[in-house]
Amino acid sequence: MGLQATAPMWPAIRQAYGWVYQAGHLLANAQEHPVEMLKQEYGQFLEIIKLQQGQLGDLAEAIPHFCQVTASYWDGLFHCYQVKDLPRTNNDLEQFFGTARHIERRVTGRKSASPTLVVRGSVRVVAAGISQLYPICAADLQLTDVPAWRALRQSLDYRHEGRRCLLRFRRDPLAYLSSLEQCLLTPSLPP
């Protein structure tokens, strides 16, 4: 009874599934096309499904949504083909971050993530990932790009200062708020 009631929907579902499968096949890039060629092929595919969306009947409204979501991710959609060993799916990235969390818990003995992971995560997670791939020697730790190192230190110090402010607020909210109020009320320019 249910199959008979939904029978008219199946051709459109079959067509939509075929398009999703084709999109996945293009993005898998089994032929290892250059990135620009892959972008062009995927753009052509999107144009074709826009033109043929009338074949989907009630499901036709899903095509503009699919194209809109694809457009919003377009800039980052092809990075995995430009950066060597960058995982192609979120599942791979989530597995990487899960491994980093697991290592962090084992090293610190904590059941939850260390608060310093918030401040220094951009450095610690990358270091944990690289150390999993190959051993690090002293030559790898040698400073080669001083301006980039200074910029990284500055961003880490900025995040660390934010954490310190939170701690000050938690310890004595009234004193912290009164010091902020005093800073706001103090004129910054000479009269």
Q: Do 18 and 40 share a domain, yes or no?
A: yes
Domain ends where: 82, 103, 122? Answer: 82
Average pLDDT (59-84) is: 85
At 36, the amino acid letter reads E
Above 70 in pLDDT, residue 32?
yes
pLDDT in tens, 49-67: 998 888 888 888 888 998 9
131 pLDDT band (50/70/90 cuts)?
Answer: confident
Q: What pLDDT is recorded for position 27?
A: 87
- Which residue range forms the structural domain that includes residue 24? 2-82
Q: Do 123 and 107 share a domain, yes or no?
A: yes
Domain ends where: 35, 67, 82? Answer: 82
Q: Do 132 and 182 share a domain, yes or no?
A: no
CB-based contact 32:75 (threshold 8 Å) = no
Q: Do 114 and 99 share a domain, yes or no?
A: yes
Q: Do 118 and 62 share a domain, yes or no?
A: no
Mean pLDDT, all residues of the chain: 82
Above 70 in pLDDT, residue 1?
no
Query: What length does the chain have?
Result: 191
Domain ends where: 65, 82, 99? Answer: 82
135 pLDDT band (50/70/90 cuts)?
Answer: confident
Above 80 in pLDDT, residue 133?
no
Q: What pLDDT is recorded for position 41?
A: 92
With b meaning 16 or more CB within 10 Å and e meaning fewer, what string describes 85-108?
eeeeeeeeeeeeeeebbebbeeee
Q: Do 136 and 150 share a domain, yes or no?
A: no
Q: What pLDDT is recorded for position 121?
A: 65
40 pLDDT band (50/70/90 cuts)?
Answer: very high
Number of domains in the chain: 3
Q: Do 137 and 148 share a domain, yes or no?
A: no
CB-based contact 102:114 (threshold 8 Å) = no
Q: Do 135 and 149 share a domain, yes or no?
A: no
Q: Model-level pTM?
A: 0.53
Q: Do 167 and 188 share a domain, yes or no?
A: yes
Q: What pLDDT is recorded for position 113?
A: 66
119 pLDDT band (50/70/90 cuts)?
Answer: low
Q: Do 63 and 22 share a domain, yes or no?
A: yes
Provide long-range contacts, Cβ within 8 A and 24+ apart, for 153-159. Answer: 155/122, 156/119, 156/120, 156/122, 156/123, 159/118, 159/119, 159/120
CB-based contact 92:133 (threshold 8 Å) = no
- Residue 128: both structure tokens together: 């944990």
The lowest-confidence range among 19-23, 43-47, 103-107, 175-179 is 103-107
Q: Do 188 and 159 share a domain, yes or no?
A: yes
174 pLDDT band (50/70/90 cuts)?
Answer: very high
Above 90 in pLDDT, residue 132?
no
Q: Do 24 and 77 share a domain, yes or no?
A: yes
